[in-house]
Amino acid sequence: MRWLATAALTLFSALPFSISLAQAETFKFTAIPDEDESRLVERFDKVADYLEEKLGVDVEYVPVKSYSAAVSAFRNDQIQMAWFGGLTGVQARQLVPGSQAIAQGVEDAAFRSYFIARRDLKLAGDAQTPLETLPESVEGHSFTFGAKTSTSGRLMPEYYLREQFDDAPEKVFSRVGFSGDHSRTIALVAAGTYDVGAVNYAVWEAAVKDGKVDPAKVQVLWETPAYPDYQWTVRGDADSHYGADFTQHLTQALLDMKDPDLLESFPRSGFIPASNDDYAPIKTVGEQLGLLR
């Protein structure tokens, strides 16, 4: 059976860092469901394949049904890493001490939200481009956020609404709803179910590019100031499960993701290092709005 021992030794030495075969359990990750589930599965299955090749362990993408389910799965160690939004990342790291934000998209250091509306409502008059400030004409109309704990679909849009109108959204609009995700927000505004909505700018631009929304019918009223958003967060105990250098090598694998097809699916132009401190502004706003304990 010497050949078996030799083969095992060869396999072990081929692994990219110090992880024993006994430790090589499946590494699982998820992502907040900010778009259509089928699109997410297609995109993150490819990421799983990429990470599996880079890290030498089995990697599995685990879809979840809601933002809160992503945080719960992380807390319960059902997944070891997640592609979180700014707020959900802060929530998850508070629940699992030692967890780290390790990488963010180049665009995530200065993310933005769009306030969108049906163009035939003429809430921006005859303007063909976004206004410098959110128009007062939105007041009294119906409005939808995205998911309740979405950074770009709720947290920051509500912050800027309160800053401008000095009142809660329920006092500004005739009706306030939560669509659940950005794609749904766009669809509900386009259908006239809501007059105005807040949406992740990247999802909007991808939808326009893919022909899923007609900008002649739905317009961007205003673009928010920049704020930090999406990031990869890994549990603090990952190294004890997958090897002493696992988090370091995982981080490097994400930073080395250069395949245009993989990056386009996010969409991001690349990934850069991130830290928990980068999301201090999100924590502050979350606490101010009562979304963080």
List, for residues 185-239, the tens digit of each pLDDT value. 999 999 999 999 999 999 999 899 999 998 889 999 999 999 999 999 999 999 9
β-partners of residue 105 are 271
Assess contact for 196 and 160: CB atoms under 8 A.
Answer: no
pLDDT of residue 10: 38
Provide the 3-class DSSP secondary structure of residue 272: strand
0.75 exceeded by pTM: yes
Q: Reply yes or no: is the peptide bond before residue 169 cis, omega within 30 of 0.
A: no
- DSSP-derived letter for residue 287 is H
Taking CA 86 as the corner, what is the angle to CA 85 and CA 92, rounded to the nearest 5 degrees?
Answer: 80
Task: Return the CATH number of the domain spanning residue range 112-223.
Answer: 3.40.190.10
Please list, residue by residue across 38-58, b when 16 or more beta carbons sit within 10 angstroms of its beta carbon and e when fewer do. eebeebbeebbebbbebbbbe
Q: Judge whether 2-109+228-288 and 112-223 match in fold.
A: yes
> In whole angstroms, what separates CA 163 from the centre of its chain?
24
* CB neighbours of residue 132 within 10 Å: 8
pLDDT for res 13: 39
DSSP code, position 25: P
In whole angstroms, give the CA distance from residue 134 to residue 225: 11
CA distances from 64 to 31, 203, 291 (A): 7, 19, 21
Instruction: Give dist(CA 293, CA 286) in Å, integer.
Output: 9
The residue extents of the domains of the chain are 2-109+228-288, 112-223
Q: Does domain 2-109+228-288 have CATH number 3.40.190.10?
A: yes
Residues of the chain with pLDDT under 50: 1-23
The confidence score (pLDDT) of residue 24 equals 59
